[in-house]
Amino acid sequence: MIGAGPAVDLTTRQVDASRELGISLVQRDEAHEEAGVFATMSATSEGIERRNLQGPYTAARHRLGRAERDVTEAAEVSEAADAALFTQQSVRAVLRF
pLDDT tens-digit map of 11-68: 888 999 999 999 999 999 999 999 999 999 989 999 999 999 999 999 999 999 999 9
Question: What is the pLDDT at residue 5?
Answer: 64
pLDDT band at 6 (very low <50, low <70, confident <90, very high): low
Residues 87, 17: Cα–Cα separation, whole Å: 17
Q: Please give the model's pTM, rounded to 2 decimal places.
A: 0.77
- Amino acid at position 6, single letter: P
* Rounded mean pLDDT, 83-96: 86
> Please, are residues 21 and 78 in contact by the beta-carbon 8 Å criterion?
yes
In the prediction, which pLDDT does 48 show?
A: 92
Going from the C-alpha of 71 to that of each of 8, 19, 77, 93, the distances in angstroms are: 25, 11, 10, 32
Cα maximum dimension of the chain: 75
CB contact at 8 A, 49 and 23: no
